[in-house]
Amino acid sequence: MSTLTMANPSLNNLEAAENKFNYRVDKFADIEILRYQVTDFEKLSLSQKLLVYYLSEAALEGRDILYDQNHKNNLSIRRTMETIYLSYKEDKNTTDFKNFTTYLKQIWMGNGIHHHYSEDKFTPHFTPLFLSNAINQLSAKQLAAVTLPNETKENFIKRISKIIFDATLYPKRTNQQDGVDLIQTSANNYYGDGISQTEVEQFYAAMKNPAETKPISYGLNSKLVKENGKLVEKTYRIGGMYSAAITRIVGWLNKALAYTENDKQKQVINKLISYYQTGDLHTFDQYAIQWVGDLASQVDFVNGFTESYGDPLGMKASWESIVNFKNIEATKRTEIISSNAQWFENNSPIDAQFKKEKVKGVSAKVITAAILAGDCYPSTPIGVNLPNANWIRAEYGSKSVTIENITEAYDQAALGNGFAEEFMWSDTERERAKQFASQTNNLHTDLHECLGHGSGKLLEGVDPDALKAYGSTIEEARADLFGLYYMADSKIIELGLLPSIEAYKAEYYQFIMNGLMTQLTRVKSGKNIEEAHMRNRQLIAAWVYEKGKPENVIEFKVRNGENFIVVNNYEKLRSLFGNLLAEIQRIKSTGDWEGAKNLVETYAIQVDTKLHQEVLQRYEKLNLAPYKGFVNPVYSLQKDSQGNVTDVKVDYTETYVQQHLRYSKNYSVLPNYN
């Protein structure tokens, strides 16, 4: 499985040249909304700009699919909240209305009623009476647009109020807690009502052939439901589930064909269209192979059912899209890495039997994001590595990207926020971060995406889904460790990827501080860690902290009653990263579910409650939002007096509220319930 690496923007508190672009857009609850610049868009040809434009329209059409995948009531609730917001006639300065507005903003950020990161259901801070009064003000036509067929207003108010206000109903979007039925305790919409985890596992196990060397990604693009007591898949395709939205996606893809840069790119889009028409996963694999082989095009995109983090069993994929173009100058860095992929594989600290004899098709580039959509919006990755199928990676390679205009937006928005002064031990760590952190953060993402996910191999006959609910955490840890281990290698200096052998210490310190302490700002008081990327980071940091205790490699130091992380031996820390990488690769390569469970359950989940409270209190006084989301730029066609397109204009003035209301008006064709 590949990853969508998440940034830790609070750490990028770096010096930079003054930039008058307004990165900050909005702030509410635990969220700050930023905007990003589409640097050098004006340097693209008109044909390339139009390709970006039509691919961006195709991206935006999939928004409702993700809402519905996240929870079966999301579309109805979002539409109800938006209708109230737009039509509310009473005093909008009341506490209830302000809290209602925050709740609506949270829904937009989470693509539904659950938090995008913790996946806990949002807690509304307006009253049930306010909601019922607001719904009672809606017209019959407005109500008909959000209710079930023949549902009375009274029943609708009762039903929707229970969903929103009852904390015990649908509490977790994706449950990863061991010892319970993960399907029945998850609120997502990948599975129909009344289906158990055992039934799902048996259904897909019966499809798989252990001897198959090129298995399709079973269940990737479907909802599993019971009809007349029998399990059946409802496939996402034209004429199937989500047909209305997919039809519009394909319509824009067809328009994009006229502006493709070369025949290979045209073949990629045509194959994607064919996949959307049929839902055939063999066609999806053919599309993935063609996509990974298109290295010449400057404009590129991801569009479809891609990552499986939202399914507790790691099979069914959420809809996402990113449209981008290559940052030619910055890509020189990733090209150096990918051209040396075999050296990195050969010198990895993992067991020889788990190494690839020949690394194929590894390509990497730095990109400028032009549009974010689906599960990449409003919260977005800073790196992507695809495709996910292990056999395609082994035979055809993979594409890795670092999204540098997103990391640039994080860095700019974090200038002078006080985070480093509050949590870093001394000026030594702070000065090292100022000098090197921007470079090391980007390099770690490059290594994670380009080589980490593409490294190693499964032993023959090992099921790619063998690690089940632990698979995502183990895979993220594997890629992170690969990057961390090589950050300190003299080869990095030899290749000119870092300016000093001391630079890696900036990444090491921040990673350990984040994994042991500061990422706890994203965990609610009394909760444990559930998100895969966060579990990965704590697993690594807690494991090396424990194993390094005899030599005092890492320690907690207390100053004025507050805890700080101090790394005493960076060389030994690198060795520990290598040891853990070897063990995690063994688990991955052999499909050792018990080994994965032991690591994750021992190191990745439990939170030190006393330390957690301290971190939350220290963070609160900084008045920072632990999570960041984005608004997209707005593209518009410029035409001459004869109606010919002469340019594509980029506008950065749209607000967070304006953008989501516009998206709901222009890109929302699915039924309330699917």
The pLDDT tens digits for 98-124 are 999 999 999 999 999 999 999 999 999
pLDDT of 5 higher than 80:
no
**Cβ(573)–Cβ(553) below 8 Å:** yes
Helices (H), ranges, 357-470: 390-396, 404-413, 419-423, 427-446
Q: Of 94-98, 396-400, 599-603, 663-667, which range is least confident?
A: 396-400
Confidence of residue 454 (pLDDT cuts 50, 70, 90): confident
Show the tokens assigned to 529.
Answer: 């860690």
Q: Which of 147, 81, 146, 68 is nearest to 112 (CA)?
A: 68
**Cβ(367)–Cβ(53) below 8 Å:** no
pLDDT of 7 higher than 70:
no
**Cβ(323)–Cβ(368) below 8 Å:** no
Show the tokens assigned to 606.
Answer: 């439990």
Residues whose CB falls within 8 Å of the CB of residue 114, separated by 6 or more in sequence, listed in order: 70, 71, 120, 121, 122, 170, 172, 173, 187
Residues whose CB falls within 8 Å of the CB of residue 302, separated by 6 or more in sequence, listed in order: 320, 321, 322, 376, 384, 386
pLDDT of 540 higher than 70:
yes
Quick: pLDDT tens for 215-245: 999 999 999 999 999 999 999 999 999 999 9
Classify residue 607 as exposed, middle or buried by CB count within 10 Å of its CB (0-12, 13-18, 19+): middle
What's the gap between Cα 247 and its chain centre? 25
pLDDT of residue 319: 98
**Cβ(67)–Cβ(652) below 8 Å:** no
pLDDT of residue 400: 87
Taking the C-alpha atoms of residue 153 and residue 150, their distance in angstroms, rounded to an integer, is 10
Confidence of residue 64 (pLDDT cuts 50, 70, 90): very high
β-partners of residue 544 are none
pLDDT of residue 339: 94
Confidence of residue 364 (pLDDT cuts 50, 70, 90): confident
pLDDT of residue 2: 42
Q: Which of 292, 5, 453, 70 is nearest to 284 (CA)?
A: 292
**Cβ(189)–Cβ(223) below 8 Å:** yes
**Cβ(58)–Cβ(107) below 8 Å:** no
Tell me which residue has tokens 């672009």: 21
Confidence of residue 444 (pLDDT cuts 50, 70, 90): very high
Classify residue 355 as exposed, middle or buried by CB count within 10 Å of its CB (0-12, 13-18, 19+): middle
Q: What is the pTM of this model?
A: 0.86
**Cβ(561)–Cβ(570) below 8 Å:** no
Tell me which residue has tokens 């829904």: 107
pLDDT of residue 409: 93
Quick: pLDDT tens for 546-560: 999 999 999 999 999
Taking the C-alpha atoms of residue 7 and residue 614, their distance in angstroms, rounded to an integer, is 23
3-state SS assignment for residue 465: coil
Sheet holding 24-28, edge to edge: 24-28, 31-35, 627-631
Backbone angles phi, psi at 252, to 5 degrees: -70, -35
Confidence of residue 425 (pLDDT cuts 50, 70, 90): very high
3-state SS assignment for residue 397: coil
- Report the mean per-residue pLDDT for the chain: 94
User: What is the number of other CB atoms lying within 10 angstroms of the CB of residue 345?
Assistant: 21
Confidence of residue 20 (pLDDT cuts 50, 70, 90): confident
pLDDT of residue 414: 82
Taking the C-alpha atoms of residue 319 and residue 242, their distance in angstroms, rounded to an integer, is 11
What average pLDDT does this structure show over 339-358? 96
pLDDT of residue 361: 79
pLDDT of 154 higher than 90:
yes
Which CA distances in Å does 71 have to 140, 168, 171, 673?
25, 15, 11, 10
Quick: pLDDT tens for 370-389: 999 999 999 999 889 899 99
pLDDT of residue 590: 98
Pairwise pLDDT comparison (4 vs 76), residue with the higher score:
76
- DSSP state at residue 120: B
- Strand 319-326 and strand 383-386: the pairing is unpaired
pLDDT of residue 15: 38
pLDDT of residue 179: 87
Quick: pLDDT tens for 160-202: 999 999 999 999 999 988 889 999 999 999 999 999 999 999 9
Classify residue 349 as exposed, middle or buried by CB count within 10 Å of its CB (0-12, 13-18, 19+): middle
Taking the C-alpha atoms of residue 449 and residue 5, their distance in angstroms, rounded to an integer, is 8
Q: Which of 506, 503, 477 is nearest to 490 (CA)?
A: 503
User: What is the number of other CB atoms lying within 10 angstroms of the CB of residue 207?
Assistant: 11
Quick: pLDDT tens for 240-262: 999 999 999 999 999 999 999 99
What average pLDDT does this structure show over 145-157? 95
Element of type H or E holding 552: none
Q: Which of 242, 213, 256 is nearest to 304 (CA)?
A: 242
**Cβ(538)–Cβ(519) below 8 Å:** yes
pLDDT of residue 292: 96
Residues whose CB falls within 8 Å of the CB of residue 165, separated by 6 or more in sequence, listed in order: 124, 128
